[in-house]
Amino acid sequence: MKKLIALIGSLFTLPIVSAHCPLCTAAVGVAAVGAKYYGIDDSIIGLFIGAFSISVGLWFGLKILKKNYIRFQMPLIIILSFVLTVIPIIYSINSNSLYMPLLLFGEAGSLFNKVYWVNKMLLGSIIGSVVTLVGYWVHVKIKEFHGRVLFPFQGMIITIVLLVLTGVIQYFVFK
């Protein structure tokens, strides 16, 4: 009985924590459904879903796990974050595909001339992931070069600017 009372008492003294991954992943999924409802292109929705997944992986790898426990820990966390965030959201939303003929050489119908259908949301997620990693890399290089962060929220602002520019380009390319 004493252990039960101690357990219940300790529940009131626990520090406040912030649940991030499952709740935010669900929120991103709901936002993607809403964006699709309002007619935003699937590749642009995927761009921000991919960016979110990489941001969660970076956040978890840098802020939560401050020490390396296994070899290639950070890339594994980022890849796992991408797979566990993007794939369930993509397959829960009916996404359009992009027609991509691959005409390398030879005559039509030969082994090298094929037509592929690529899921636009998956393609956008991959692009968003790469852009987010580039934004983070630029932030780190600026910080290394100047020895400090130049302005508040530097990493976030650089990444968002790159994502918006990429989204505008995607709007005109994939439309």
pLDDT tens across 1-60, in order? 555 455 455 545 544 444 344 556 566 667 777 777 888 888 888 898 899 899 889 888
Q: Is 8 within a domain?
A: no
> With contact defined as beta carbons under 8 Å apart, do 155 and 76 qualify?
no
What mean pLDDT value characterizes the chain?
78
Q: Is 2 within a domain?
A: no
Q: Is 15 within a domain?
A: no
Q: Is 13 within a domain?
A: no
Backbone angles phi, psi at 106, to 5 degrees: 95, -175
Total number of domains in the chain: 1
> With contact defined as beta carbons under 8 Å apart, do 89 and 124 qualify?
no
Q: Is 119 within a domain?
A: yes
* Domain with 148 in it: 21-173
SS3 158: helix
Q: Is 25 within a domain?
A: yes
